[in-house]
Structure 1
Amino acid sequence: MGTAAAWRSAVRTWAPCSRGICYLGIAAITWGVVTWVEVGAWTYHYSDQGDYTWEQARNYCQTFFTDLVAIQNKREIEYLNESLPFHSHYYWIGIRKLGGTWTWVGTGKVLTKEAENWAAGEPNNRRSNQDCVEIYIKRQQESGKWNDEPCRRKKKALCYQASCRPSSCSQHAECVETIGSYRCECHPGFHGPECEDVVQCTKLQPKGVHMNCSHPYGDFSYNSTCVLECQEGFEQRGASTLRCLATQQWSADMPTCTVITCPVLSAPDRGEMNCSHLHGDFAFSSTCAFSCQMGFALMGPESRECTATGTWTGDVPHCEAISCLMLRAPDQGVMNCSHLHGDFAFGSTCAFSCQTGFALAGPESRECTATGTWTGDVSRCEAVSCPVLSAPSQGVMNCSHLHGDFAFGSTCAFSCQTGFVLAGSESRECTATGTWTGDSPRCEAIACPLLSAPDNGVMNCSHLHGDFAFSSTCAFSCQTGFALAGPESRECTATGTWTGDSPRCEAITCPGLSAPSQGVMNCSHLHGDFTFGSTCAFSCQMGFVLMGPESRECTATGTWTADTPQCKAITCPVPSAPDQGALNCSHLHGDFAFGSTCAFSCQTGFALAGPESRECTATGTWTGDVPHCEAIKCSALATPTMAQIACTHLHGDFTFSSTCAFSCQTGFVLMGPESRECTAMGTWTGDAPHCEAISCPALLPPSRGQLSCSHTHGNFTYNSTCTFSCEEGFVRMGAEVLQCTAMGNWTRHPPFCAEDGAPFLKQVLTYSSGAALVVTGIVLSGSLIALLAKRLSNREEKKKLLNPTSDLGSPGIFTNAAYDANL
């Protein structure tokens, strides 16, 4: 869609319906050629796939388009009747009876009489439920007309797609559908193609008027509202609120403001008025100041101001004559007055005179001035006077006066204060001649005994009435370091005696001191034990050092100089336990201090080398040397003969925990423990082992034979060698030499000597089988076997007789090797 000008140059065209869509578009004229332009125009749509109830039809239209069609004019009816295909059940449109009234459901507007397009006799509301409307399309009769129908019946849905969009017009307009287009109906006060421009009114510029405006759409534009109010003291004429109308005019004319006036004022009698006018004579804010002539006072406000209500502040002022205090005639006198402006007011005059016997003191007349005061002093009539009397020093005078102080008839009596005695007349009287009777009296002070200062003290006296007389005061004080015992001062009383007892000065006492623990104190006292001037010296016993002052002195304030000293034990360096040892300390005067003793010990298997204990001395050093723990030694072990030894040493060669393992060479067996350990006692566990040669069974010379042996390590022990031989006529049967092995057996079985018996054996073999000979050999004694062997002469026969497979003896005596040696 183009601009508004494009709309004006376009002509409406119609397009045929296709696939359920009927187009109402705009054909634009461009250089004399008609072309189709796609715009956001109103389009019609119908459901060509099925029929729906009225509610279903509306739901279908609202889902896919805008709503059921809302027919705006008869031209649209003609277009629809021409474009839509015929359907036997016709088409639903967007009219429904709501609350008994036919209403366009899309807009909620009631169907007007002018817009009705009912078929003849319709709506007939048959059976009272025909609340929905169909349109006849291509009906033979009354085509394009409307008919009311029950809403449950199914028909085609006739929908429309509106051309109006949320962005079609501004928010100050209503989008109205037109054939093939839309238009923006502007709200009042707005104009423009999309009603985006607001109406402007002339800008208000009042003078002397307060204005407060609100501009919902811009300064001084449509619906701008201005409230106008006159300044205080001005009366407004015209509307107080102006609003910018859609006609670009203000709802009323600008109001006018007229100043408020007050009544005219005039000056008071005997007074003056001076006015200033800001907005006109005697108008709002006018101010008038009032004053009076000399001798008169303004009664009321000094100024009045014309207010916004048209009234003056304050009341009307007036001038009154200034008044003086009322006068009266003096005692024993007469007063005569004249008044111009009121009794005793400005200008009044009063004259005074006295009775016989009295004299006027003061002016004879007085006048009331403009300041409200009388001229001159107060006039009075005074009696004849005597010289003024005074009480004697340290005395009292008591007078009675009939006509004034010390005047004729006055009487004065005299007395002395306590501590004084009167010398002279006790009373005097003023006579008619103005003189006193008698002489002037005097008072003399009473005296006390003389005083003196106390020892180590000072006395300071003040004498009011003579040395050591009544009221004399003596103050006593003591020299530094002494305190006064008794009254600080004494006074001479009216009885001639001193108050209090005689004071004395005593040395100031400090708290008693004592020697510090493990220390000594030596004191010297000048004025008494632990008093001012006492000095105490401090020292410590051996092994202790003084912490604090060596001496303290009792001061004049009763305190000792410096802090309390103490004796602190001298400390030694902190010792440590020796390796493989322990440390156990006892402390008399503090950890590792003088007198502390530390005992040293070693763990099992170790011996202490050095002192068993050390003591912290007075010099801060330990006695003795630093001990240490040495492993206890065992005697060095020697390697047994024919043995080996392997030792492990934890703390040194052959010391505590050293372990030695023993083993023997081949052919020897260990006799004793296999290992020995050095104990904490310095001894070895077990007995000393030794290696003994392994023994073989003892050999005996064979019968009819000899045995010759050599023994390296003992009779018949390992490596012993024995040689066998037989006597003449006998034959050695077995090995000639046997040796004792490391296993404890001989290398061969011992041989024997057999008689040479070859002929006899042959005879035996002639009569006996080999098997019988074997059996016979088993049961025969050894001597018989020797006899038989001696008689054998044939070597082959000997082999048969001495078959190695036969069991002819026990092991250790005969062996296969022995037999082989005799064959």
Structure 2
Amino acid sequence: MASCLKAIWNEGFQQVVFGATHLLFFSALISELTNQKEVAAWTYHYSTNAYSWNVSRSFCQKYFTDLVAIQNKNEIAYLNDVIPYYSSYYWIGIRKINNNWTWVGTKKTLTKEAENWADGEPNNKKNNQDCVEIYIKSQSAPGKWNDEPCWKRKRALCYTASCQDMSCSKQGECIETIGNYTCSCYPGFYGPECEYVRECGEFDLPPHVLVNCSHPLGSFSFNSQCSFYCPEGHQLSGPSKLECSPSGVWTDEPPQCVAVQCQDLPAPNKAQMNCSHPFGAFRYQSTCSFTCDEGLLLAGAGVLQCLAPGSWSAAPPECQVAISCPPLLSPQNGTVTCIQPLGAFSYKSTCQFICDEGFSLSGPERLDCTPSGHWTGSPPTCEAIKCPELFAPEQGSLDCSDTLGKFNVGSTCHFSCNKDFKLEGYNNVECTTSGRWSAPPPTCNGVASVPTLEVQCPVLVPPGQGTMSCRHHLGTFGLNTTCYFGCKAGFRLVGDSTVRCRPSGQWTAVTPACRAVKCSELHVNKPVMMNCSNLWGDFSYGSTCTFHCPEGQSLNGSVRTACRENGHWSTTTPTCQAGPLTIQEALAYFGGAVASATGLVMGGTLLALLRKRFRQKEDGKCPLNSQSHLGTYGVFTNAAFDPSP
């Protein structure tokens, strides 16, 4: 469709705005129209009344965009063709600002391409000719320009811009054209609307290189910046920072991380050096160990390591002659005898230790001085020989010559019985050099009738989760009553399994307890979530734990495990893996089971969900530093207290 001229007459609107009738707006649409639908385009308008330049501009800004800003001679030819002749001509949006002719609407200086002065213009005749008129349909100079005083009255030639705030995606300059606009994209952007950003793409990181990137316009795109750094003991070789340029190319290649270099180490004289170099010869974390020839002493550190600053952990050692071991002294209550072929306590010296009577050697009987200057062991000690600890017999007493109660060799002990009891065995025993008593301890037996039926021990009850069985000899819980204890499956006995009622009316031990068998503590890896209930204590017999995964992942393994009576879990801990929705998961999206009739209606939606889930898995894209808020990873237990023994 050819360009058209549209005249609009709206007398009521003119009266409201200007308070006069006969005001005609003329609009010339520059773009092609299809089926009379409106499109974004630059349109021209003019007033039928004449105003000063300032009033004309206010008129254009009020009803349109501004006084027209002409960009090229094609536009001038078009205006001269479609705008009607008017004797005083038309104001256009250019005036002198700081002695520069400037388009006031776009704030751009007049270019040679758009310049169209009449011959001899601008001449600033009589001075202060700072505004510009256009000779529409002039016989002598059609479409030409002339500078004029701004107070003169002329028609206003206005335009409505086709460029909008979001034109060119705010990533380029919107340039008005006849009937449309074009986008001049800023560096780094492209596309009809400058809607695309140049991409540099990801780069491969060399070993050990660490990077921190910012992406203001998209991942690894224009204006993305990446800073590089190295771990401890390494230094950058290359640029420390890269930028994605407007052309979609990185400003440089990524740097390398090179291990810090330490000074080369020569092997000391008469020594062997053994080194390992994980990052290169004598670089960071290189380790060298030193050993001297036999008979020589290593002076200095035996192992050196190349540290992060590029220096060794110590100075290189040396091998010296005359190796000697620390002097040895005779142990208390003993003696040492040495053979020293190369000097006092020197290399190859051998020392023998002997203890006095009544004492035994604790430690090695012989020590040798090694080439490293160390004895083959720690010096021994002579410990007094002891016999087993003795106790007074029931219904008797014990008196020993060893007042400190150490029962050393030579100690003697005397036994005696209470009234009405007879001593059976030796009443005196002695601790011999073999560490044994000269006779076994005696016992005290009753020789007369004893009121045993009067002896009564406290009543016993079975422990919780346990069993008790008693043999009553002289009445219920009387003298010599013996009780046996056990625990139910899943519980273990803590304490003596058998107790007996003594003549003193006390049991030989306290009642034992039954504690739940412990299973190993469960740990799960993210993102598995676990919830546990504990009947008899955390991770004990009877504890049950259930597992689930965040939305979008499925459980690989059993959903439940229990602590068995043998102290083992019934199943292993599961893992989470991404995968397509199961039918149960899909039904869960609709709040529960779906009836068969409803299922036919919802089938399309269910299929869409499954396809969406499948695409998500294929894309393999996930946000950096993603976090789940569906639950806290780790172990959840109840507050049951497990009073472990």
The TM-score with structure 2 as length reference comes to 0.46
Looking at both structures, which has the greater relative contact order when contacts are Cα pairs under 8 Å and sequence separation is at least 6?
Answer: 2
The TM-score with structure 1 as length reference comes to 0.37
Larger Rg: 1
